[in-house]
């Protein structure tokens, strides 16, 4: 059985992106390790933001949705199907202004759906997309990962856990403006030692 990998690139840069380069290296590790099928979702091709029509369609019971409402949710359904089909999510995440890129937040808003990717229970929310791993390649100019000004990595860990993906590993290429050479060497070494086998 092939390993199904969902690759997500959140950088606005399509060339010269550190997070994309790290994603390339992570994907290469999977492909070298064995049979791998990669689905790519490039958020430089922007996703739509939520609208009143989208929210109305989402909160209308499936059996009661009009064809127009179903069409409104079609992209969201596709994005969720991409996650469902994946064994591993490989996410390239730059930190912009201390948080995640707006393009990534748009992806989150489209995939975090009550009754579809999570549900509420008597003991709190339960993620429905379980049994998956995530590897997140983080790049930043000056924000140190895990510091008080890093509002990106805690967010992505929480969001992934919220929809059921609690096995999350980070590769850090942070503070690139401080010492790019050492940071890149450390990040690439971390990629080389990632546990790839399922």
Domain assignments of the chain as residue spans, ordered by start = 3-192
Phi-psi region of 113 (alpha: psi -120 to 50; beta: other; left: phi over 0): beta
In the predicted structure, residue 141 carries a pLDDT above the cut 80: yes
* Number of residues in the chain: 198
- 46 Cβ contact list (under 8 Å, min separation 6): 103, 106
Fold of 3-192: Rossmann fold (3.40.50)
Contact (Cβ atoms closer than 8 angstroms) between residue 100 and residue 135:
no
User: What is the reported pLDDT for 139?
Assistant: 97
In the predicted structure, residue 198 carries a pLDDT above the cut 70: no
In the predicted structure, residue 17 carries a pLDDT above the cut 90: yes
In order, the DSSP letters of 28-67 are: HHHHHHS-EEEEEEETTSPPPPP-HHHHHHHTS-GGG--H
- 152 Cβ contact list (under 8 Å, min separation 6): 93, 95, 98, 99, 100, 138, 140, 143
pLDDT digit string, tens, across residues 153-181? 999 999 999 999 999 999 999 999 999 99
pLDDT digit string, tens, across residues 23-72? 999 999 999 988 999 999 999 999 999 999 999 999 999 999 999 999 99
Q: Is 147 annotated as a binding residue?
A: no
Instruction: State mean pLDDT over 131-135.
Output: 97
Instruction: State mean pLDDT over 141-152.
Output: 96
User: What is the reported pLDDT for 190?
Assistant: 96
Distances in Å between the Cα of 111 and the Cα atoms of 8, 63, 73, 108, 148 are 13, 20, 10, 5, 27
Instruction: State mean pLDDT over 81-91.
Output: 98
Q: Is 76 annotated as a binding residue?
A: no
Proportion of the chain above pLDDT 70, given as a percent? 99
Q: Is 18 annotated as a binding residue?
A: yes
Q: Is 17 annotated as a binding residue?
A: yes
């Amino acid at each position: 059985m092939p390993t199904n990998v969902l690759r997500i690139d959140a950088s606005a840069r399509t060339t010269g992106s550190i997070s994309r380069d790290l994603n390339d290296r992570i994907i290469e590790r999977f492909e070298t390790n064995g049979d791998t099928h990669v689905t790519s979702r490039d958020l430089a091709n922007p996703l739509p933001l939520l609208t009143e029509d989208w929210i109305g369609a989402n909160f209308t019971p499936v059996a009661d949705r009009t064809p127009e409402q179903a069409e409104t949710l079609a992209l969201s359904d596709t994005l969720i199907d991409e996650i469902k089909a994946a064994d591993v999510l490989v996410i390239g995440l730059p930190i912009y202004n201390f948080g995640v890129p707006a393009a990534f937040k748009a992806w989150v808003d489209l995939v975090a759906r009550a009754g579809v990717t999570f549900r509420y229970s008597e003991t709190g929310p339960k993620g429905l997309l379980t049994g998956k791993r995530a590897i997140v390649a983080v790049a930043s100019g000056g924000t140190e990962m895990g510091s008080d000004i890093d509002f990106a990595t805690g967010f992505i860990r929480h969001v992934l856990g919220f929809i059921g993906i609690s096995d999350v590993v980070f590769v850090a290429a942070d503070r690139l403006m401080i010492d790019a050479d050492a940071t890149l060497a450390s990040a690439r070494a971390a990629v080389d030692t990632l546990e790839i086998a399922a």
